[in-house]
Amino acid sequence: MSTIGERLQEERKNLGLSQAQFGEAGGVQKRAQINYEAGERSPDAAYLERIAAIGADVQYVITGVRTTASLSADEQELLSLFRAAPLAVKAAAIGALQGGAVAAAARYEGSKQVFKGSVSGVAGRDVVKRSGKGEE
């Protein structure tokens, strides 16, 4: 189980803010933010109220349970459809999302992959990777 500090850091990173920026939004100095994330201090209600105003899911920070209030309209619709779907559709949706995340992580900026050989070729032996600067 993650700690309040770890969840606070996760929310900060999800918002794309540095510790100094997030601390400032919460009304504290960078050192206080560092202490919160390290679990050395606990944030007060005024801080939590301020970070909620910039989009942090304070319920998640405190309890580890996400609130649907912080979801966009698209995310709320997706969740509603997912909950109503049969198990097979849920499994397919999860598989598609996981596959998409893996594909996105595997992209290389400025490079291309060229595949040669038959469809029945052996992966790793019949695949040639080329970048924009020559063969690898």
CATH number of the domain within which 11 lies? 1.10.260.40
Look at 72 and 28; give whichever has higher pLDDT. Answer: 28
Rounded to an integer, what distance in angstroms lies between the CA atom of residue 5 and that of residue 43?
9
24 with 48, same domain: the answer is yes
Which pLDDT score is estimated for 110? 54
Look at 103 and 39; give whichever has higher pLDDT. Answer: 39
96 with 127, same domain: the answer is yes
Domain around 40:
4-70
Counting the structural domains of the chain, the total is 2
Rounded to an integer, what distance in angstroms lies between the CA atom of residue 90 and that of residue 23?
38
Q: Which of 27-31, 58-62, 104-108 has the lowest mean pLDDT?
A: 104-108
The C-alpha angle 97, 104, 82, rounded to 5 degrees, equals 15
Work out the mean pLDDT of the chain and round it to a whole number: 82
- Within 10 angstroms of residue 47's Cβ, the number of other Cβ atoms is 20
Q: What is the pLDDT of residues 68-114, one digit of tens each?
A: 776 778 888 888 898 899 999 999 999 998 888 777 666 654 556 55
19 with 58, same domain: the answer is yes
Tokens representing 68? 């649907």
40 with 54, same domain: the answer is yes
